[in-house]
Amino acid sequence: MAADFDTIVNLSKRRGFVFQSSEIYGGLRSAYDYGPLGTELLRNVKDQWWRSMVQLRDDVVGIDSAIIQAPAVWEASGHLSSFSDPLVECRSCNSRHRLDKLDDPDRCPTCGNAGTFTEPREFNLMFKTHMGPVETDENVVYLRPETAQGIFINFENVRRTARMKIPFGIAQIGKSFRNEITPGQFVFRTREFEQMEMEYFVHPDDAPRAFQEWVEARRDWYLDLGMSPENLQLRKHEPDELAHYAAEVYDVDYRFPWGWDELEGIANRTDFDLKAHMERSGEDLTFFDPETDQRFVPYVIEPAAGATRTTFAFLLDSYREEEVRGETRAVLALDPRLAPVKVAVLPLSKKPDLVDTTEKVAAQLRGRWQIEVDVTQSIGKRYRRQDEIGTPYCVTVDFDSLDDGQVTVRDRDTMNQDRIAIDRVGDYLADRLPG
Ligand code: ATP
């Protein structure tokens, strides 16, 4: 079981991971701002995804496409006609709900009355705005509801310029926007969020193999970054659940405090998107394989993950409370690759000599890792703060350091302390931390 929901929401606010957006104006529902620690954590999640999907592979390249694209993109992809959820309104309390997410489709979860819902209507989730100074129907544009279409419309540009041969992938990380009917559960479902998506183009006959490979690779990514296996599951979509474009889908689900819910979907999207864009644009998006002398429209395997949602899951999953010498210690046991701060450098007291030496130690480490220097409060309180934000190592400068040139390095998980010469601290940490 993951950590308690309220514990993580409180920790997020108290320590500066995530704030309610526009808080000084009373807050904007379902919008969140990432604070100093949350920004680092989110960035680390995205960097780890990019590293595994792009940098460690020779068959995947990245792009960064525009959030606002030609409306024809959304016509072709089917988003304009069918990217919608069934909306019902309660006649008794006027609350609105997404019908397919209700436990009881006949009972309003807000007021508890039964039989009060209006007939469901399909509500399109795309945010609309106008491009340019005139607000006419011709100027309507949409904020992208997924990053994937920006990849499909650049398929030929990327293939040609990066000289890619099938099978190959195009990855993208970026913001997406959905006017969700019922946002909620903190950053799990928001109207503005970040996605990490990759489209892997394959020969149609190769699609089932590539699909299996990506399902496993994606599950392993979460496990490799320390997510508890008992909180992670793969779930195959039933035929009646499949999106109109998909031949096969697996979700990577996390055991959230409210139950299993999706972190990522891995789909065999067939040739649906490339064909749709070929038809609408008139451009040739086929691939010619000179080895087999064959021309075909590639199939696409898509691992589509949420960066903000995954960040939340890592927070929940890494939180522990332990009894240490009669006191409760709260720890974020984050993998060091994800930890927002890698090393805290702490003088035992605010005495100028100690603070000077602390600055010298910090200067050696800064630039190699995200570090924090903290001089306030008792050393015990500072250790507790670093444990609670997941800092893997604390380096403490004490009075002996001034004489023997050594500092104490404390390990977050074992709480073991090693005495290390100041000029060796960098090497000591380099053996234990990612570069
Ligand atoms: P749902 O059915 O829960 O609305 P979905 O299946 O439509 O979601 P996808 O279109 O597959 O979601 O999006 C891929 C990933 O993007 C999701 O697995 C999730 O991690 C993330 N995501 C989608 N919608 C949101 C949202 N509103 N807030 C945060 N993350 C989201």
Residue 128 has pLDDT above 60, yes or no: yes
Task: Report CA(351)–ligand 1 centroid distance (Å).
Answer: 51
Residue 435 has pLDDT above 70, yes or no: no
Q: What is the pLDDT of residue 254?
A: 98
Q: Whose CA is nearest to atom 18 of ligand 1?
A: 264
- Contact between 91 and 118 under an 8 Å Cβ cutoff? The reply is yes
Query: Over pLDDT 70: what percentage of the chain?
Result: 99
Provide the greatest CA pair distance for the chain.
78
Task: Report CA(194)–ligand 1 centroid distance (Å).
Answer: 10
Task: Report CA(294)–ligand 1 centroid distance (Å).
Answer: 36
**pLDDT tens figures, 283-332:** 999 999 999 999 999 999 999 999 999 999 999 999 999 998 898 999 99
Residue 175 has pLDDT above 90, yes or no: yes
**pLDDT tens figures, 105-121:** 999 999 999 999 999 99
SS3 assignment, position 327:
strand
Residue 1 has pLDDT above 60, yes or no: no
**pLDDT tens figures, 205-263:** 999 999 999 999 999 999 999 999 999 999 999 999 888 889 999 999 999 999 999 99
DSSP state letters, 284-315: ---EEETTTTEEEPPEEEEEEEEHHHHHHHHH
The CA distance from 279 to 133, in Å, is 31
Burial degree of 352 (CB within 10 A; 0-12, 13-18, 19+): exposed
| Shortest-distance atom of ligand 1 to CA 306 | 20
Task: Report CA(403)–ligand 1 centroid distance (Å).
Answer: 57
**Which of 50-59, 130-139, 420-429 comes out lowest in average pLDDT?**
130-139
- pTM equals 0.95
Q: Whose CA is nearest to atom 24 of ligand 1?
A: 189
User: 124 has which bridge partners?
Assistant: 84
Q: Write down the mean pLDDT value for the chain.
A: 95
Other beta carbons within 10 Å of 289: 13
SS3 assignment, position 7:
helix
Task: Report CA(192)–ligand 1 centroid distance (Å).
Answer: 11
Provide mean pLDDT across the span 178-197: 95
Q: What is the pLDDT of residue 244?
A: 81
Domains of the chain: 5-83+125-315 (3.30.930.10), 341-430 (3.40.50.800)
The CA distance from 19 to 27, in Å, is 9
Angle between helices 307-318 and 36-50 (to 10 degrees): 110
- Contact between 392 and 411 under an 8 Å Cβ cutoff? The reply is yes
Q: What is the pLDDT of residue 29?
A: 86
Q: What is the pLDDT of residue 297?
A: 98
pLDDT band at 153 (very low <50, low <70, confident <90, very high): very high
Provide mean pLDDT across the span 196-203: 98
Ligand 1 neighbours, Cβ below 6 Å, are: 146, 178, 180, 189-190, 193, 195, 262-265, 304-306, 308-309
Provide mean pLDDT across the span 48-56: 98
**pLDDT tens figures, 348-385:** 999 999 999 999 999 999 999 999 999 998 999 999 99
DSSP state letters, 20-45: ETTGGGT--TT-EEE-HHHHHHHHHH
Provide mean pLDDT across the span 145-149: 98
Alpha helices, H only, 135-283: 148-152, 155-161, 207-224, 272-281
- The residue to mutate among 45, 190, 193, 273, having the most atoms of ligand 1 within 8 angstroms of its beta carbon, is 193
Residue 2 has pLDDT above 80, yes or no: no
Burial degree of 194 (CB within 10 A; 0-12, 13-18, 19+): buried
